[in-house]
């Protein structure tokens, strides 16, 4: 069943992006556009609502690249800098829309945002600072306009992170553990997006083998890997190693749900 929602992968890279500064590996030196990855984020668009999940350091360029003219809200997965650092550029939408932008986030993310962007929450604000307001989320379902969000609790080493299920689509990034009860919330999704950092094991991210095991358990019609590092390998070569229904996501990829 189609729900009239389009998902755009704004970025599919890990915290350093690809190419990595000063790196001379074959992935970072690749001229293949599929090997160029901004920090991980997605855009969700229905007929009436536009939502961004995470505003990393590349947020400004991602908005320009996709010619986004309006945002109704930002939803955050967690508080690491590669997922919140670009939030100041939300002020462009303040100016255009003439309104404060709601931020849907946990208490931990709110604490980090209020710390890093303290000037936006000051009693006396400098002219032109971002206008935004916090809407707390936990593990209960919530709506942003006409788009339903079901939080999926995962662990990023010891840090709680939220993934989200939207109808038949689930997006999970920065995970190294998902409890069975949370996987049950994902079960039945037609499309699953999951982080797959590299082939070697990692303390706070699924590696490729672990991500494939989870996809095999969930058995989605389509699976996509994101939050990819240069250590995973060249996009076209790694893609050849994957099952037919599993693909490496890439920046600018659009899918319909």
What's 73's domain CATH number?
A: 3.60.15.10
d(CA 14, CA 239): 18
| Beta strands 147-156; 142-144: pairing state | antiparallel
Lowest-pLDDT choice from 57-66, 119-128, 154-163, 198-207:
119-128
Which pLDDT tens digit goes with each residue over 91-126?
999 999 999 999 999 999 999 999 999 999 999 999
Please give the pLDDT value at position 202: 98
Question: What range does the domain containing 42 cover?
Answer: 6-256
Sheet with 73-75, strands from edge to edge, namely: 132-136, 101-105, 73-75, 50-53, 41-45, 6-11, 254-256
| Beta strands 169-171; 142-144: pairing state | unpaired
79 pLDDT exceeds 90? yes
Tally Cβ neighbours within 10 Å of residue 157: 13
Q: Distance from first CA to last CA of the chain, Å, rounded?
A: 8
Residue 39 lies in a domain: yes
Q: Are 91 and 59 in contact (CB under 8 A)?
A: no
Residue 32 lies in a domain: yes
Share of the chain above pLDDT 90, in %: 99
Which pLDDT tens digit goes with each residue over 198-243?
999 999 999 999 999 999 999 999 999 999 999 999 999 999 999 9
Residues pairing with 225 in the sheet: 194, 248
Please give the pLDDT value at position 251: 98
Residue 182 lies in a domain: yes
172 pLDDT exceeds 90? yes
Share of the chain above pLDDT 70, in %: 100
Q: Are 86 and 56 in contact (CB under 8 A)?
A: yes
| Beta strands 50-53; 41-45: pairing state | antiparallel
Confidence bin at 4 (pLDDT 50/70/90): very high
76 pLDDT exceeds 90? yes
Of 179, 137, 136, nearest to 154 by C-alpha is 179
Into how many domains does the chain fold? 1
Residue 152 lies in a domain: yes
State the chain's mean pLDDT as an integer: 98
H or E element, residue 222: strand 222-226
1 pLDDT exceeds 80? no
Residue 194 lies in a domain: yes
Residue 60 CB-density burial (10 A; 0-12 exposed, 13-18 middle, 19+ buried): middle
Residue 1 lies in a domain: no
Residue 137 lies in a domain: yes
Q: Which residues contact 209 (CB under 8 A, 6 or more apart)?
A: 199
């Amino acid at each position: 069943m189609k729900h009239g929602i389009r998902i755009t992968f704004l970025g599919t890279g890990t915290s350093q992006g690809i190419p990595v500064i000063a790196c001379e590996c074959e992935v970072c030196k690749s001229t293949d556009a599929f090997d160029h990855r901004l920090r991980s984020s997605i855009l969700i668009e229905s007929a009436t609502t536009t939502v961004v999940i995470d505003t990393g350091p590349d947020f400004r360029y991602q908005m320009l690249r996709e010619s986004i003219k309006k945002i109704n809200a930002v939803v955050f997965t967690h508080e690491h800098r590669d997922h919140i650092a670009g939030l100041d550029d939300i002020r462009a939408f303040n100016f255009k829309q003439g309104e404060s932008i709601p931020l849907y986030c946990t208490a931990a993310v709110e604490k980090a945002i209020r710390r890093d962007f303290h000037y936006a929450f000051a009693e006396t604000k400098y002219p032109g600072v971002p206008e935004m307001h916090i809407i707390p989320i936990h593990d209960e379902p919530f709506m942003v306009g006409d788009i339903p969000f079901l939080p999926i609790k995962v662990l990023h080493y010891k840090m709680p992170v939220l993934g989200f299920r939207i109808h038949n689509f689930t997006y999970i990034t920065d995970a190294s553990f998902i409890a069975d009860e949370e996987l049950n919330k994902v079960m039945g999704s037609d499309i699953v997006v999951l982080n797959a950092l590299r082939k070697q094991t990692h303390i706070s991210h699924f590696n490729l083998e672990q991500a494939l095991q989870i996809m095999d358990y969930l058995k989605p019609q389509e699976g996509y890997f994101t939050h990819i590092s240069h250590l995973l390998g060249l996009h076209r070569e790694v893609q050849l190693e994957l099952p037919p229904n599993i693909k490496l996501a890439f920046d600018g990829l659009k899918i319909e749900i």
